[in-house]
Amino acid sequence: MRKALLPGAALLMLSLPAANAAEERWSVAEGPSGDTRGVWTMTLNGDEMSGWAEMFDSAGEPVTYFVSGKRENDEFVLERQSPSNGIMCDYRLKGTASENSEASNGSSQCDGKSQIWMAKKLREPEQNSGGDPSPPDMSQ
3-state helix, strand, coil in the chain (%, to 5): 10, 50, 40
Beta-bridged to residue 27, according to DSSP, are 39, 120
**Tens-digit pLDDT profile for residues 69-86:** 999 988 899 999 999 999
Helix (H, G, I), strand (E, B) or coil at 4: helix
Q: Which CATH class is domain 23-121?
A: mainly beta
What would the pLDDT profile of 37-65 be if each residue is shown by its tens digit? 999 999 989 899 999 999 999 999 999 99
Backbone dihedral region for residue 52 (phi beyond 0: left; psi -120 to 50: alpha; all else: beta) = beta
Domain spans, the chain: 23-121
